[in-house]
Structure 1
Amino acid sequence: MHTSSRRAAAIAWGSAFISFSFMILPGLAWLIIPGTWSFPLLGFKMVPWRVFIWSWCAPGLVSAGALLWLPESPRYLLSSCGAEKALPVLAKMYAYNHNTRESNYPVERIITSNIEASKTGGFVGAVRNITLMFRPPLLRCVVISHTLMFAVFMLSSGLYVWVPDILNSMLRSTSEESITICQIIHDKFDRERNLTLMAPEHACHSEVAVRVFPISMGMGAVFAVVYLAIGVFIGRIGRKTLYSSIMVVCGAATVGAAFVPQGGAATALLILALCSGCAASILAAIAVDVFPTCLRAMAMCVMYMVGRAGAAVGAYLLGSTLDVHCQLAFSVFGAFTAGSTVLIIFWPKPEEVREEMEQRGLTY
């Protein structure tokens, strides 16, 4: 629904709302999790952690309802269903933007030479579209963008899973010396192992430092600022330059967080490392330009699916190595994140990809 000149900024501005969840969820946790109450409901024993998890459903239900009011992209309708389906949506957009009625839309008919809408649809059409993604010239775009998205989520979401626990360990540490977060984590694992051996019935008991919640909310505020800055500067600095800069800085911050002995500096570096997740919106803006309209949504979904797989891999690898190989794990994650930006050098020129795909009858 955005022109090519505004699409990158629109994606960045839209992604800024992700940061609100990083502020709202810790706020809910702050209100709910420290409680000691419980009550029965629908056969469940409702305790704070269960109420907290269930509260996550509310925004999803609201957004699902809101999507019912959002019209389909006229660009997609034009390419897949023809001008007759796209025209009413364009009229609705015109009426909304100009505060007038749809009947005042000055365009009566769309004339196009598009042949894409007449091609096979349904399951056969979907399979055909998938095969186009894994053939030149889109194959190189798919490999590069999906690998980079894997790296983005592997660090940002994979690390974010463990950051509240890491911060909790740092805040509850009783050491008077300046030690690294890796040493704090190692000491915590040692204490938990000893507690399990001495009193197995209390092995699952844990306490949360309340100061973790405002720090997590502060992280969300930092993400919001980064997203807004991306929306402002993405058109001035350039997408690839901005993406590479963020990933290199975040990769270096990840390595530094494991070796800095001061808790405040380590916390700041951890938050900076998590800002790598903001680069996902830039990568989406880079990738979206090379895919034809009929493939664009599918390509973005597959790319984010690969990214979520990276988040799962990152969370598992960090959870498995934090105790024994903490500094090595942070170093590998940071190096992989920063080093992955080399792939952006091989990103093709969108104009060349478009020209070749348009020769096959696909539209943008």
Structure 2
Amino acid sequence: MSWNNDMYRLSPIFVPNSYGYQNLLEEDISTAAMDKGGKRGDSTAATLDEAMLLSGFGLYNILHMLMSGLILMGMIMQSLALGYILPAAQCDLELSLQQRGWLSAIPFLAIILTSYFWGWLADTRGRRPVMLFSMLVSAVFSAFASFAPEVISFGVLLFLSAVFMSGSSAVVYTYLGEFNNLRHRDKMVAFGSSFVGIGTVILPCVSWLILPLEFAYPMPFLGIDYRPWRLLVVACALPFTLATVLLLFAPESPKFLFATGNYDAAFDVVKKIYVTNTRSNVDTFPVKSLIVDSQTKHTSPKGASAIWASMKEQTVPLFKSPLLPWTALTCFVQFGIFATTNGFYVWFPSILNSLANHDGGETKICDVLDAGKEAVSNGTMICDDTIHTSTFERSIYIGLVFSSMYIIVGFLVDYVGKKPILVVILFFTGISGISAHLVYNQQIGVVLFAVFQMCGACIGLMNAVAVEIFPTKYRAMAICLSMMMGRVGSMVGSNLIGLFLEVNCGAGFYLFGSLIIVNSLFCLTLPNKKSIPQKKIVVESTQNETHEPV
């Protein structure tokens, strides 16, 4: 395509957003550009990214971020709820420490086995329908799990719930990122990810409200007493239920619509964002049509061989140059972060409960845990499923710090960039994890242990990195693969930490602290923050690969 620069002139316009007015450059609509046939066109065209920039930033983006955040909060509550449920259920289900470790790993195992499929489905059928279906079914299976009479049925229903939970756990990051323009994408993904931290505050609050209750409704046909821990299983699925209702009123991602050839629908979503953000009439939107890139329209595959070919087409490029190094990097870093933050968190309430019940003087965290383990092995303790009040209190305080870290990262990412934040946070939290094992003061040890968990604030940043460096066609698959490796880390971490708590408590802190430090060093290879140039609308002929909206 050739351009005649003398045929148009530039004039400044002001596009409103939530921060005031942003001075952009726009080709004057009254001028025209020559197309290949020498005819004049009179419509203003822009790429999808340029149109997203001109749609502004405001109420629509905030509401969409809150809805996506609710999905993330539901995901983290269901994933980590077992940290509170299993100590309270250990007497009813007659759980050993090893069984608790395996049950804690079941949600992550389900996500590992199915993330690939959900990623392919989201890239071929759409982000929104995948999340709608998966969240609803996950909530239903969680409700069924609350009636499980013994450990096997509880584990199976938990597994089925987690299978569908994985459909939204990774896709939501892509869905959130694709509704924000290039200037605000990193920030909004970070703010949305802060709901993971908020979930770590809500979870102990809800657990504190429910677990101390003293009811036991007998259900003879199941052979169980419906006790508070069963109600907690249902309560942790409520965010998914609410998010499903909200998602019914949300559109499909404009990026996905555009990539699959639904240009009219994509442009309608962009105009809706503009109208909501600026409170202006849709006719005032300066973009009148989208420039259509040369790309093949996406069609849904039919038949087993076609599905396999489609999945292969979505995956193989991720393991070839130039995407292979980024695929390996995002997978490795997510593995380390998830192994540490989720692996330790499922044991966090048990560790805090042991510290709360310790009557001795100043001693290391691992010494307290070893003392409790020896008491159980000597038969000096009976089954006790009560959780100390201070366990909930400390968990809430730590969750508040955790969510604050997410919010701080959200404010800093636009000014500092993802790379420096990832390197600094991961290195500092890794050092804190090693130090938590070495100090004798329990209060300082708990603080360092809490800081160790702050590495989880980098999960959203790594997904923001993936949204930026992977093309739209492979983006959901890339994020699902990296999140799948993260879930592998969660499963490996929860079981290894359970083993280390029995065999060598200190080795767990050394191993995972060092892993996080190595992750920080690998993040040094990430590309630096991209500067987003001022975008201009290009006046182009409707016959020059420009799609006219209906």
| In 1: Cα distance, 2:438 partner to 2:378 partner | 26
Aligned equivalent of 1:188, options 365, 372, 375: 372
Runs of 4+ in 1 over 6 A off after TM superposition: none
Structure 1 residues 242 and 101: alpha-carbon distance in aligned structure 2, compared to 1, 3 A threshold: same
- Asked if structure 2 preserves the Cα contact closer than 8 Å seen for 1:141 and 1:348, the reply is no
Report the AA paired with residue 224 of structure 1: S
Shift, 1:107, TM fit? 3.6
1:232 aligns with 2:411: yes
- C-alpha RMSD of matched pairs (Å): 2.0
1:81 aligns with 2:261: yes
1:14 aligns with 2:192: yes
| In 2: Cα distance, 1:290 partner to 1:225 partner | 27
Report the AA paired with residue 183 of structure 2: S
The equivalences for 1:35-114 within 5 A come to 35-40=213-218, 43=222, 45-100=225-280, 102=282, 105-112=285-292, 114=293
Structure with the higher strand share, 1 or 2: 2
SS across alignment from 1:289: helix
- Specify the alignment match of 1:316 in structure 2: 495
Report the AA paired with residue 19 of structure 1: G
Structure with the higher helix share, 1 or 2: 1
Shift, 1:312, TM fit? 1.1
Deviations 1:100-138 (A, max 9, x none): 4556645442232x2224256533444312111111110
Report the AA paired with residue 23 of structure 1: V
Gaps of 5+ in 2: 1-178, 302-306, 531-550
1:242 aligns with 2:397: no
Deviations 1:289-326 (A, max 9, x none): 11111111221122112111211111110000113211
1:306 aligns with 2:485: yes
Aligned equivalent of 2:315, options 130, 138, 141: 130
- Specify the alignment match of 1:252 in structure 2: 431
| In 1: Cα distance, 2:269 partner to 2:218 partner | 48
Report the AA paired with residue 304 of structure 1: M
- Asked if structure 2 preserves the Cα contact closer than 8 Å seen for 1:83 and 1:111, the reply is no
Structure 1 residues 350 and 106: alpha-carbon distance in aligned structure 2, compared to 1, 3 A threshold: closer
Shift, 1:60, TM fit? 1.1
Q: 286-295 vs 259-268, which deviates more?
A: 286-295
| In 1: Cα distance, 2:237 partner to 2:231 partner | 10
Q: 254-263 vs 22-31, which deviates more?
A: 22-31
Q: 259-268 vs 121-130, which deviates more?
A: 121-130
Calculate percent identity across the aligned residue pairs.
27
Structure 1 residues 179 and 156: alpha-carbon distance in aligned structure 2, compared to 1, 3 A threshold: same
- Asked if structure 2 preserves the Cα contact closer than 8 Å seen for 1:169 and 1:184, the reply is yes
- Specify the alignment match of 2:452 in structure 1: 273
Report the AA paired with residue 262 of structure 1: N
Gaps of 5+ in 1: 352-364
| In 2: Cα distance, 1:266 partner to 1:296 partner | 40
Structure showing greater radius of gyration is 2
Shift, 1:345, TM fit? 3.2
Report the AA paired with residue 291 of structure 2: I
Q: 81-90 vs 275-284, which deviates more?
A: 81-90
Compute the TM-score of the two structures, normalised by the length of structure 2. 0.60
| In 2: Cα distance, 1:238 partner to 1:87 partner | 30
SS across alignment from 1:45: strand
SS across alignment from 1:72: coil
| In 1: Cα distance, 2:481 partner to 2:529 partner | 19
| In 2: Cα distance, 1:40 partner to 1:301 partner | 42
1:148 aligns with 2:327: no
Q: 258-267 vs 22-31, which deviates more?
A: 22-31
Shift, 1:184, TM fit? 0.2
- Asked if structure 1 preserves the Cα contact closer than 8 Å seen for 2:423 and 2:524, the reply is no
Aligned equivalent of 2:461, options 257, 262, 282: 282
Report the AA paired with residue 185 of structure 1: L
Q: How many residues end up aligned between the 2 structures?
A: 344
Deviations 1:165-205 (A, max 9, x none): 11111111011x3110000000010111122xx68xx4x33
Compute the TM-score of the two structures, normalised by the length of structure 1. 0.89
